[in-house]
Amino acid sequence: MTGGADFGTALFGAFALLLVIEGLLPFFSPVAWRRMFERAMQLSDAQIRYCGLGSMLAGLALLMLFWP
């Protein structure tokens, strides 16, 4: 049963790292963060979905490459 605990620990660690990385831009450059969101508000729903799809596929590809 240690495999489940390892996966849970890795998932929690990955989520924590995501929060740290997501917080870097608004912490160091709130003006750039605000500009980025202003531009994102101008995108259509389809464009946002394609960005999300691309992000998920890139994440899956990285998992497949680096997961032990």
Tally of structural domains, the chain: 1
Q: If you average pLDDT over residues 18-26, what whole number do you get?
A: 93
Domain membership of residue 48 as a residue range: 2-66
pTM for this predicted structure? 0.69
pLDDT of res. 9: 87
Q: If you average pLDDT over residues 36-57, what whole number do you get?
A: 95
Q: Average model confidence (pLDDT) for the chain?
A: 89
CB environment 22-60: b (16+ within 10 A), e (fewer) = eeeeeeeeeeeeeeeeeeeeeeeeeeeeeeeeeeeeeee
